[in-house]
A and B are shown apart, each in its own frame.
Chain A
């Protein structure tokens, strides 16, 4: 717990403030790239900062889209309008999605938030001032801000954060909901419910700020307070056993492993599974569905090239070949379990074709008509990825 304290990266901050002060004195115009974690880019005009972009803080676009203030379709529609550019401010106002003053405030908040993210992180170096790369900053503020005032504001925020009972850094802690803290508790304000919904032990305050479409400083403060109030907890110490499921028991040769049952993510390390030596006995044990195995896990390591089109490229028919007696027996029973939903007779069952070698499209059968099953899987996956995010 000793390293939970927050301290300013003094060397990096000194470098940054010296360079920015110099730019301010020279009334410089250009882009100042800060390397480090998260790092960022300061855009200056006449010695004043007009925009700051950092991977550590959501920019104006992310704030608009992720907060649900404007939908992705609406945003795309605005970008399609003539003269919209990358930041369709006129369109946003004309369609009534946001007010002009609101957008001005938001741009300034995003700027200050990005400075806070840079200062709260680790500054490794500051590259000399360059001409703005690409098309310049996305959404510059109309009247720039003095760089030193911005830095002072950021350090003030960091000091305030450090003074909280449970200080949190935007990119360090990965909180979990505490036992008993329900994300749908109506007594909690919506910002807290959002944090509880999305905190899963993998996401930092910065990640949660992106997901909820709020500034990284307010989210960090909120998390620090929720930790202090016992609504969140930090896995401490961080787990030494990594919750990364490793699925292949292969040796150096990346032999494709047949696996019929879906593997749950929660399982930790599937090392217990026997290796796949180049003889069929343990393979039979792994794969009771297709013991004949016309498919070739016994292939050479670079099975991608050796998988010629005459091999069963994801078509279930040859694999299913040993199946019919068993299936017929099961269908004979009137009360067959509906979970498996046996296909109509005469049609081969489609069982996870996307998991078969060759369903990847790397073999020579991309245009195969039986491929649409993989596309189904694609839409299902997209749906799963997007639902929690687009709901916020």
Chain B
């Protein structure tokens, strides 16, 4: 902040640089927008694919809303009804679950490629932060949606998740230590995971989170369109292509192919077939917890380390990772793209190993 400059003026300058309203016209945002062509150009498609899967989520989710009943007595039955008796119900539900996983996969890939391409450089800091918040929001969508079928794995995994939230309180100082407990009580709504929890998760999943997502994604996309595509590589490339119509053509063609692949997956492999069937049985509050309860695959990178290492260590690492992600534009301001690429490769390696081999590693460490 320069001497004599008020805080308001500083904030105002910062925001006007990040949201240059003079660029807010069709000519600048569409007609004159160029997309650099280089060996990392494929990274520019990952954001679009995430958006595409979000649109599939919205459409299929709306269809599911017609039949799904958010009550503990009827939730599981209504999901079974959708699967077995509604015309195209199984296909729609499978598209919803498959595209949820795909959306999270591409959101993570988009974050990693954006990091490697240094797409967070000034004036795109806020674009990056909105993106990180969108990724967290996507994970929350996954967590809240997991409970809705009200089967054994859904309820028991949610219980474990909420217990983990409460356990964080032990490591926080003073009044802050009560915050996780309050959060758990708020989301759980009663002594154990029950009707109140289902109602609240449902409200979060279909109303509150979509509203938050709509706001954040609007800001993220607006900021992307205002600033154009980031350079992506150290040496400015001479080759570029017009966003309109050439990049949009390619994007649409890719979306078509991906839609077909999604359709094949949803038609041919019911998502539930990856789970042992006792975990898909309706939740029985009086029964014992079945073996094999674990979260969705996209939480494995956090879940298996939690099972193997002390809680405080994972909490510390997660807290640090979140802070680093949010402050990336400032922490890695002077870092070269080569170094960023190396960090990305290491982070990707960790995510892939934990997701694919996490269970085997866990059994090796704790036989």
A interacts with B = no
Q: Residues on B close to A: CB < 8 A?
A: none
